[in-house]
Amino acid sequence: MMTLYSGTTCPFSQRCRIVLFEKGMDFQVVDIDLFDKPEDLAVMNPYNRTPVLVERDLILYESNIINEYIDDRFPHPQLMPADPVMRARARLFLFRFEDELFSNIEALERGTQKQADKARGLIRDSLTQIAPVFAHQKYMLGDEFSMLDVAIAPLLWRLDFYGIQLPRQGAPLMKYAERLFSRPAYIEALTASEKMMRK
């Protein structure tokens, strides 16, 4: 059985929980308090961060790597595109999400006021840029829910919590976010702490 060591408020862990629930398979989630990490976390992951996936003698960390492994192991429903070209494009998007959006989370959660304000601005601008896409399509890659939607959902869930206000042009993105949040697997994957992030 797969075991996911998951931070209760960690957006990266939330991604992995969403995928596990979307797949509807047997797994165990071990909740990790990020302010009081168990010693064995550093043994499993040299960066001492969540999430960590353990299956028999396999230990994986980094949410996108974990999620692709789960997707390969349990292909239904498939979350990465089957076509090699689309799959490469999807990986490029995932890379950009990390680089342009999620790299700012550290500053929001642990930075100075100035760093946090800068991070808010960068995330707001990036999200506002992609918002128009959702005036014409349901999900990131069109009509099908995919790994890209999984990857961005935890950030969208935390916008209020992080104090990020999108301008009016962001409206299609917020509608898209509500579509993601209403998926049964999304709701099941939420921890009690994450539920409290949104009023």
Digitized pLDDT (tens) for each residue of the chain, 199 residues in all: 899 999 999 999 999 999 999 999 899 999 999 889 999 999 999 999 999 999 999 999 999 999 999 999 999 999 999 999 999 999 999 999 999 999 999 999 999 999 999 999 999 999 999 999 999 999 999 999 999 999 999 999 999 999 999 999 999 999 999 999 999 999 999 999 999 999 7
| Fold held by 84-183 | Glutathione S-transferase Yfyf (Class Pi); Chain A, domain 2 (1.20.1050)
Q: Where in the chain is the domain with CATH 3.40.30.10?
A: 2-77+189-195
DSSP code of residue 184: H
Catalytic residue among 4, 10, 119, 150: 10
For the stretch 131-137, contacts whose Cβ atoms lie closer than 8 Å and that sit 24 or more positions apart, written own/partner, are 131/166, 131/169, 131/170, 131/171, 131/172, 131/173, 132/169, 132/172, 133/172, 134/172, 134/173, 134/175, 134/176, 135/172
10 is catalytic: yes
Contact between 169 and 128 (Cβ < 8 Å) = yes
Q: What is the pLDDT of residue 21?
A: 97
What CATH number matches the domain at 2-77+189-195, 3.40.50.720, 3.75.10.10, 3.40.30.10, 3.10.20.740?
Answer: 3.40.30.10
d(CA 80, CA 164): 29
- Residue 65 burial by Cβ neighbours in a 10 Å radius (0-12, 13-18, 19+): exposed
Q: Where in the chain is the domain with CATH 1.20.1050.10?
A: 84-183
Q: What is the pLDDT of residue 29?
A: 97
Q: What is the pLDDT of residue 31?
A: 96
